[in-house]
Amino acid sequence: MRFLTSLFRKKKKPARRNALLKTPTPGSPGQKRSTFRMPVEFDIVYTLEGRHGRRNARANDLSAGGLRLECDEDLFAGSLLTLEFQLPDEFLEHMTIEKEVYEQSPFGLRPETVKVPPHRFSPMTVRAKVLATFFLREHKKFAHGLSFDGIDNKTQDELQRFIHLWQLNYIRTRRGDLD
């Protein structure tokens, strides 16, 4: 009887040797970010909630969920900011995307794929919350990890569109096949 029960037991799988080499995916325990973060820099103007006046800063590491803000000011975790910025769109000048349009023919509407330039990005105003702060010695500035707070769907879609087009441009220019 002992022989039969051992035949039907599941064998334990051996532990993976390269488990430490696995890259964490967004949302996994080893990765706190839920969206892809990309290294892009642009100017930004911010206002600290409860204080008058606007200050200039530099934004980088943008994602659909937040960004990193470099400035001269040490902000407390939990502080709320109003951010005003326009996403950089100079790279769109040499870019085209495919769009499907419908043309009337004697046989009815026919789809056709055409190449068109993508439209520019509009200025944005979003609220953000300071999650973490650290000091960058080499730049002599404070860096703040921000999470967008209560972002509307239109702005969220525009951020996603920017990230997609930026990645597409990077791939095309890297391969040398920019349209």
Residue 100 lies in a domain: no
pLDDT of residue 34: 55
Residue 68 lies in a domain: yes
Residue 155 lies in a domain: yes
Span 16-57, pLDDT tens digits: 433 333 333 444 444 455 566 778 899 999 999 999 999 999
CATH of the domain at 49: 2.40.10.220
pLDDT of residue 17: 39
Residue 137 lies in a domain: yes
Instruction: Report d(CA 33, CA 138) in Å as an integer.
Output: 25
Residue 56 lies in a domain: yes
Span 68-101, pLDDT tens digits: 999 999 999 999 999 999 999 998 888 888 889 9
Structure tokens at 22: 């696995």
3-state secondary structure of 160: helix
Domain that holds residue 133: 33-92+122-171
Beta strands in the chain (DSSP E): 42-48, 55-60, 66-71, 80-85, 97-105, 108-116, 124-136, 141-148
Residue 97 lies in a domain: no
Backbone angles phi and psi of 144, in degrees to 5: -125, 130
Residue 17 lies in a domain: no
Does this model's pTM top 0.75? no
**Domain count across the chain:** 1
